[in-house]
Amino acid sequence: MTQNSDVIVVGAGINGLLVSRMLIASGASVTLIEKQEVAKESSWAGGGIVSPLYPWRYDAAVTALANWAQAFYPQLAEELLIETGIDVQLHACGLLMLDAPDQQQALAWAAAQGHVMLAWGCDSIYKKETALAAGFESGLWMPQVGHIRNPRLCRALLASLQKQPGFSLITQAAVTGFITSGLSISGVRVKTAGEAEVVHLHGGAIVITAGAWSQQLLEKLSLQTAIQPVKGQMLLYKFPKPPIESIILNQGKYLIPRQDGHLLVGSTLEYAGFDKTSTSTARQALSHSAVAMLPALEKMEFVGQWAGLRPGSAGGVPYIGRLEPYSNFYINAGQFRNGLVLAPASARLTTDIVLGGKPEIDPAPYDLGAHRQDKSAGFEEKQVSTQAPASSSGSVMT
């Protein structure tokens, strides 16, 4: 089988879906290839907070993408509801950061960026969230931050794409190699489930959006990035009604209240290769951290635990741009913990670069050359552990 499209996108997570959507909106035909099922990896597993957890600690390149994406999300949610009837439940519930050690730096960053951030004392904290554990003395309140139901978002994006005549989807399909012609990629070799033969797909451009698996694909052409899998584990609880109104963040751990009473607890950071096993060690660490914020959880059993693999990169700065020396080979990967946060902006930049348009976002910080510089200085997630504390007092950074 031979199939021709203007663009072949490899990887059907949130980034692959949004890149495909924006390319098609610009008039290109797209074939999207996924080795398993659509959006069943980190795009499904994450919590869906539409902001970096501690945004002032990130490189300016991450902030630029985050600002663009946060402004775009309400429009995207409305468009998808009209097109598909699926409510992605974008909810601006606010985010309350408790006892941040670098509060003055955070406030200065927010003022410079034009973001609303208020410094609260304990009276304001407990007036807002009465169920929190006692003892928190300071807080940073970001009322404009919210969360989205990421599985619903990906389902809506797929439903929208499937209405487009220029869109093709191939799942259960492993990319086994690339067909080169001088300094361009003329096609992709793909083996689909149940097929004895490898099929060839031909496109004018190839875009890699394979998340934590992107480097594995690039190695087939001897291209190197620093993208590596970083496991994150989550817990899920269920209340008759939400015990908190806001996203709560303390010492790197967060609680996300869903409107249906579910409460997400996240998350760990584990450098364990491509292992996605859920562990009792992570469960204990997350539970301790959650109870330290919300004591009502101490007598409750969790109703779910899962793990996903983030595409780790230095400083969380993604790779977006053309992959030299090839003239038509591109990447959009390496968003680390902020894949969903940055996805609309990452897709916009990728689309502009692939189609040769004037980028709305400066592309320079995201190309492979820029990544040769060390972006990890001061990055709060450089070294992590999943060990549980000896007692339930306090929270842990895992």
- Domain-located, residue 95: yes
- Domain-located, residue 394: no
Query: Between the CA of residue 123 and those of 49, 117, 119, 241, what are the distances in Å?
Result: 26, 17, 12, 24
How confident is the model over 285-334, as pLDDT tens digits? 999 999 999 999 999 999 999 999 999 999 999 999 999 999 999 999 99
Structure tokens at 25: 């909106």
Whichever domain contains 28, its CATH number is 3.50.50.60
How confident is the model over 85-129, as pLDDT tens digits? 999 999 999 999 999 999 999 999 999 999 999 999 999 999 999
Three-state SS at 91: strand
**Where would I find the H helices in 187-279?**
214-218
Structure tokens at 207: 């875009």
- Domain-located, residue 398: no
Residue 195 pLDDT level (bands cut at 50, 70, 90)? confident
Tell me how far apart the alpha carbons of residues 277 and 78 are, in angstroms, rounded to a whole number. 36
- Domain-located, residue 274: yes
What does pTM read for this prediction? Answer: 0.92
Structure tokens at 140: 């940073």
pLDDT at 372 > cutoff 70? no
Convert 296-313 into a string of H (helix), E (strand) and C (coil): HHHHCCCCEEEEEEEEEC
Tell me how far apart the alpha carbons of residues 69 and 12 are, in angstroms, rounded to a whole number. 19
How confident is the model over 127-185, as pLDDT tens digits? 999 999 999 999 999 999 999 999 999 999 999 999 999 999 999 999 999 999 999 99
DSSP assignment of 269-299 equals: -B--TT-----HHHHHHHHHHHHHH-GGGGG
- Domain-located, residue 396: no
Q: From the DSSP assignment, how many helices (H) and strands (E) are in the chain? A: 9, 16
Tell me how far apart the alpha carbons of residues 285 and 384 are, in angstroms, rounded to a whole number. 12
- Domain-located, residue 105: yes
Domain that holds residue 263: 2-372
- Domain-located, residue 388: no
Residue 396 pLDDT level (bands cut at 50, 70, 90)? very low
Number of domains the chain contains: 1
- Domain-located, residue 40: yes
